[in-house]
Structure 1
Amino acid sequence: MYYLVSSGRRVISQIAVANYFKCFSTLYSLSSLDSSQFGGSFGEENVGLRENSDLAILLARISPGSSEDEVFQSLLSDPACDAMQLNHSLVGRLLHCFKDDWKLALGAFRWAESRPGYKPLPAFYDKLVDILGKTKKMDKMCALVEEMRENHIVTLSTIGKVMRRFAGAGDWKGAVRIFDELGDYGFEKNTESMNLLLDTLCKENRVQQAREIFLELKSHIPPNANTFNIFIHGWCKANSVDEAHWTIQEMRGHGFRPCVISYSTIIQSYCNQSDFNKVYELLDEMQAQGCQPNVVTFTTIMCSLAKFEKFEEALQISDRMKMVGCKPDTVFYNALIHTLGRAHQLKEAEYVFKVGMQINGVKPNTSSYNSMIAMFCHHRQEQTALEYLREMEISPYCKPDVQSYSPLLKLCFRDGKTDNLLPKLLDSMVNKHHLSLDLATYSLLIHGLCRSNKCEWAYKILEEMIAKEITPRYKTYSLLLEEIKQKNMFDAANRIEELMKKMKSS
C-alpha cells in the first residue's frame, strides 16, 4: 500500500484509494490461504488454490465502468483467461463479485457461456435475472428470460424472481402479466403459481390488488393454507391487523387450521406496535388451540422487547421458551447475544457465544460473529472486536460480510483512526475477502471522511460509487459539496452540483 506524506499526516494515494474500492482487484495472496478450507488431500488443495488464482486473474482483467461488451471482449482476448478450465464454483464466485454491477456480471457471464465445453447452471441464469432486475434493467432481464425459455431452463423460481423485480420496480401489473403468460413458459395456473403471484404482491405492499386477483381466481384455482398465510402477512405488513384476524376466520371456513406461521405473523404485527399485552394473549390462544409457538415466535418477541428497551422482560423469553420445550437455534442465540449486549451484559453474551451455543450443538454463523463485533465496537473495545473478526476469518462455518466491518468502520471515525486502522479494514474487505461495498457502506465512508476533514478521499469514493452505478443519497451529495467548497475544489463542486440537478429532475 502506498501513502503520500503531507503536513505530518499520511494521506492515502489515488492509486490506493482506487484499489480499495475495486472488487476487481487482486485477491488475497495464495500464501495466506488456509489449505484446510479446500479439503484434506493434496489434489483438492491444488484445485482450491488454482480456482483462487483463476478468479484473481479474471477480476484483474475487468475494469470498473466497463460495458458488458468490453468485459466480454477483454476476457475473450486474454490468453490467461482462454487457458482456464471453468467450473461452476468459479463462475458462481465471479457472479457473486459482480452482484451489484449488472454490466460486469452480464459481460463475465456471456464470456463463461461462450467457453467450449462449459455450460452454466440454470441457477446462474436465475442469478443474472435477479441482478438485472435489481438494477431495474427490465428490458435486458426480459430478453434473458426469453433466451432461457427458448433453451427450456425457465423454472418457477425464475418466474418468481421476475415477478418480484417487476413489483419491486413499482410495476405490479407487470408481475400480473407474467402470471397471465405462464402457459408460454410451460407452466400451469395452479395453486402454487397463484400463491407465488399473491406473495409477490403482498410483499410489495399491494395486498389490496392481491385480494382482488384472488377473488377472481379462487373459483377455478383452489387456495391452500399457504394462500391465507400470505394474506395474513400482507395485511399485517399493511398495518391492518383486523383484516389479518378476519383472514384467520376465513381460513377456518375453508377447512384449514391456523398454524404457528399464521399466529406468529400477527404476533409480529403486535410487537411492531409495542402491544405486548396482545402478544401474550395470542400466545395463550395458540396454546389453547394446541398450536405451540416455535423458536421463530419467541425470537420475534425477544427482538421486539429489546427494541423497546424492555431488556429484563426480553431475557425472560428464554425461560418461557424452555418451559414449552422449544429448542433454540442460531437465530435465537444471535438475538439473545444482541439483547445481552444492549443490556450491557457483555460477559453473559460471551458465555452464550462460547459455551451456551456449543452445549446445545448450535453453530455460530456470520450474524453471530457480527453481533459480537457490533457489541464490542459499541462499547469501544476495538481489540476484542478485531479478535472476533480474525476468528471468523478462520472459522469453518462462515466468513465476514460487509456488515461485519460496518461497526468497525464507524469506530474508526468515532475514535479518529482514519489514518491507520481504516485503510487496513478497507484493504481486508476488498483485497482479502473481495466484498462489494453497498450503498450503506459507501454512505458511511463518505460521511465519516467528510467529518474527519478528508473530503478529497471522500470525493474519490463518490466517483468510485458512481462508476459502479450506485446512486448516492441527496444528503450525501449535500454534505460532500459543502466540505469540498471549503477546500476550493471547484471542478469537483461543479460536478456534484450537476449530479444533484439530475437527481432533482429525475
Structure 2
Amino acid sequence: MNFYLRKLTTRHLSVSLPFGVCNISNVACRSCFSYFSTLSSDFRFESPQNCVNVAGDSDINVVLARINPGSSEAEVVQSLLSDPDCDSIKITDNFVGRVLYRFKDDWKSALGVFRWAQSRPDYKPSPELYDKLVDILGKMKKMEKMHSLIDEMHAGHLISLNTIAKVMRRFAGAGEWKEAVRTFDELGKFGLEKNTESMNLLLDTLCKENRVQQAREIFYELKLHIPPNANTFNIFIHGWCKANRVEEAYWTIQEMKGSGCCPCVISYSTIIKSYCQQFNFQKVYELLDEMQGQGCLPNVVTFTTIMCFLKKSGAFEEALKIAERMKSVGCKPDTLFYNALIHTLGVAHRLQEATRVLKVEMPRNGVQPNTSTYNTIIAMFCHHLQEERALEFLRDLESSPVCKPDVQSYFPLLKLWFKVGKSDEFLKILVNDIVNKHHLSLDLSSYALLIHGLCRANKCEWAYLIFEDMIRQEITPRYKTCSVLLQEVKKKNMYDAADRIELFMKKMKTA
C-alpha cells in the first residue's frame, strides 16, 4: 500500500456525501413544456451524448447480425472469423470505434469485436480505441479484464494520461477509490509523470465520486513535491459544494489566495450556486461584491444562475433586478439568460414584457433565440389559456431560419386542447405536424401524454391505436399508462384490446 493510502483512516472511509450537482451553464436551457408544474422541482440536466449513426452502414450491420445476444467473447470472435462476409470487411479505426460505441453496454461483444479486428494482419488498433475498450470494461466493472488490457497496452507502449484518467475514474466509480490512488502511484511504471496535471486528474476523480475528504488528505501529501495551480483549488471548491459543505469551499478560496493563485469567475460562481441552492441570497450578494472588489467580474452564467434560483424562491421582482445589475457591470446577456428572463417574466404574469424580450430586446442586442426560447413563450401563453398567441409563436418557430421545433414545442398545446376539449380534427392536425411535417419522433413522454389525454377525453379507441403504434416502434409504455388504457377499453367492451394490454402488462412484470 502506498504512502497516500496509509494516511487515510477508517473514519474517512465512512464519509457519505449524497448531494448532487447540476451544470450551471445549462440552468436556463431547461425545456418548459411542463412550465408551471415544474416550478418547485430541482434543476437537473442530462449531459449531451455523442451519437453515432450506424443505420445504413452495411459493414457494421453485417457484424451486428453475426453476434448473438449473450455470446461470450470467444464465441463472438469465432462467429466473426468463420463468416466469409466478415472477411471482406475493410477494418479501420472509424469502423471499430463505431462498433465499440454500439456495444458500449455489452463488454463481451465489444471485447470480442476488438479481438477479431486485432487478428487481421493488416490492422492495428489505435491507442484511442484501446482507451475506449478500457472505458467499456471499467464501466461494466470488469476490473480483471481491464487490468489485463492495461498490461497489454503497457507492453505496446500505448498508455497515455488519458488512459490513466479513464482507469482511475472507473475504479472510483466502482467504489474502489484506493485502486484509483494506486494507479496514480504507479504512473512512473508507465513512463508518465506525477505532476500538477496528473495530480489534478486524481483529485478530480475522487471529488466527483464524493471522496473529497480523501482527496484532501492525499493533496496535503502531494503538494510537498507537486505544486498546485488554480485548477487544483477549483476542483476542491466544486467537490466541497457537491458535498454541500459550502463553508469549506469558501475557505478553499482563501487558501487559494494564500498559495498565490487568483480565484476566477468559476471559483466564485460555483460557491454562489451552492448558496443559491440554499436560498441564502444574502451570502450570494456578499460574494458578488467580493468578486467585484477583487476585480473578478461575474459572467452571464453567474447572473443566470442567480436569476433562476431567485425565481424558484418566488422572489420574482428581485430576480428581474438581476438584469439591471448585470448591465451595470457591462456583462452582455446571451440566449440562455434571455430564456431565464422570459421564463421569470412569464411566472410573474408579465406576458407583454416577456414577448417584448423576444421580439425587441433580443434582436436589438444581436442575440438569437433558440427552440427553448420559443417553447417557453408557447408554454406561457398556453398556461394562460391564450391559444391563439401560443399558436402564433409556434408558427414563428416553424418558419424560423435559426431554430426548429422539437416534440416539446407541441406539448403545451396538446395539453391545452385536451383540457378544453378541442375537436379530433385539431388534435390530428397537430400530431400530423409533429410526425409528418417536421419528421419528429414521438418519445415515451409524447405517447404517454396522448394516451392519457385521449382516455380522459373518452377517445380510448384512438388511444389504443397509439398504444399499438408504441409497440411497433419498440417503445415500452409505462405500467401506469397501460393500466389507465386497460380500464378505458374495458368500459367500451373492447375485449381483444383488453386481452392484448393485459398480456403486455404480464410480460412487463416478468421481464
For residue 259 of structure 2, the aligned residue among 254, 261, 264 is 254
Q: Which residue of 1 aligns with 2:244?
A: 239
Offset, 1:250: 2.3
CA gap 1:324/1:374 in 2 versus in 1, 3 angstroms: closer
CA gap 1:282/1:186 in 2 versus in 1, 3 angstroms: same
Describe the SS at the equivalent of 1:379: helix
CA gap 1:449/1:314 in 2 versus in 1, 3 angstroms: same
Q: Which residue of 2 aligns with 1:225?
A: 230
Tell whether the 8 Å contact from 1:455 to 1:483 is kept in structure 2 after alignment. yes
Q: Which residue of 2 aligns with 1:376?
A: 378
Q: Distance between the aligned counterparts of 1:279 and 1:116, measured in 2?
A: 62
Tell whether the 8 Å contact from 2:355 to 2:377 is kept in structure 1 after alignment. no
Which aligned pairs between 1:149-298 and structure 2 lie closer than 5 A? 152-298=157-303
Q: Which moved more, 1:442-451 or 1:57-66?
A: 57-66
CA gap 1:443/1:108 in 2 versus in 1, 3 angstroms: farther
CA gap 1:315/1:190 in 2 versus in 1, 3 angstroms: same
Tell whether the 8 Å contact from 2:398 to 2:404 is kept in structure 1 after alignment. no
Question: Quick one: percent identity of the two aligned structures?
Answer: 50
Which amino acid counterpart does residue 248 of structure 1 have in structure 2? Answer: I
Q: Which residue of 2 aligns with 1:321?
A: 326
Which aligned pairs between 1:78-117 and structure 2 lie closer than 5 A? 98=102, 102=106, 106=110, 110=114
Offset, 1:346: 5.5
Q: Distance between the aligned counterparts of 1:172 and 1:458, measured in 2?
A: 46
Offset, 1:456: 8.1
Q: Which blocks of at least 5 consecutive residues in structure 1 are unaligned?
A: 1-50, 500-506
Q: Which blocks of at least 5 consecutive residues in structure 2 are unaligned?
A: 1-51, 419-423, 456-462, 491-497
1:306 partnered with 2:311: yes
Describe the SS at the equivalent of 2:410: helix
Q: Distance between the aligned counterparts of 1:227 and 1:324, measured in 2?
A: 28
Tell whether the 8 Å contact from 2:172 to 2:205 is kept in structure 1 after alignment. yes
Which amino acid counterpart does residue 159 of structure 1 have in structure 2? Answer: I
- Aligned residue pairs: how many? 424
Q: Distance between the aligned counterparts of 1:91 and 1:359, measured in 2?
A: 49
Offset, 1:274: 1.2
Q: Distance between the aligned counterparts of 2:211 and 2:310, measured in 1?
A: 29
Q: Which residue of 2 aligns with 1:32?
A: none
Which amino acid counterpart does residue 493 of structure 1 have in structure 2? Answer: M
Offset, 1:178: 3.5
Q: Distance between the aligned counterparts of 2:189 and 2:350, measured in 1?
A: 58
Describe the SS at the equivalent of 1:175: helix
Which amino acid counterpart does residue 290 of structure 1 have in structure 2? Answer: G
Q: Distance between the aligned counterparts of 2:374 and 2:108, measured in 1?
A: 34
Tell whether the 8 Å contact from 1:306 to 1:314 is kept in structure 2 after alignment. yes
Offset, 1:194: 1.8
Q: Distance between the aligned counterparts of 1:58 and 1:354, measured in 2?
A: 49
Tell whether the 8 Å contact from 2:96 to 2:117 is kept in structure 1 after alignment. no
Q: Distance between the aligned counterparts of 1:147 and 1:384, measured in 2?
A: 62
Pick the structure with greater CA Rg.
2
Q: Distance between the aligned counterparts of 1:483 and 1:266, measured in 2?
A: 48
1:492 partnered with 2:497: no
Q: Which moved more, 1:222-231 or 1:119-128?
A: 119-128
Describe the SS at the equivalent of 2:298: coil
Q: Which residue of 2 aligns with 1:15?
A: none
Tell whether the 8 Å contact from 1:54 to 1:84 is kept in structure 2 after alignment. no
Offset, 1:268: 0.9
Tell whether the 8 Å contact from 1:76 to 1:111 is kept in structure 2 after alignment. no
CA gap 1:208/1:185 in 2 versus in 1, 3 angstroms: same
Offset, 1:347: 5.9
Which amino acid counterpart does residue 164 of structure 1 have in structure 2? Answer: R
CA gap 1:422/1:146 in 2 versus in 1, 3 angstroms: farther
Tell whether the 8 Å contact from 2:410 to 2:430 is kept in structure 1 after alignment. no
Offset, 1:240: 1.4
Describe the SS at the equivalent of 1:332: helix
Which amino acid counterpart does residue 283 of structure 1 have in structure 2? Answer: L
CA gap 1:53/1:271 in 2 versus in 1, 3 angstroms: closer
Offset, 1:283: 1.0
Residue by residue over 1:334-358, the C-alpha shift from the partner in whole angstroms, topping out at 9 and shown as x without a partner, is 4334434444556655655566555
Q: Distance between the aligned counterparts of 2:473 and 2:87, measured in 1?
A: 26
Q: TM-score, normalization: structure 1? A: 0.64
Q: TM-score, normalization: structure 2? A: 0.63
Residue by residue over 1:430-469, the C-alpha shift from the partner in whole angstroms, topping out at 9 and shown as x without a partner, is xx68x8x9xxx546645763564547865885897799xx
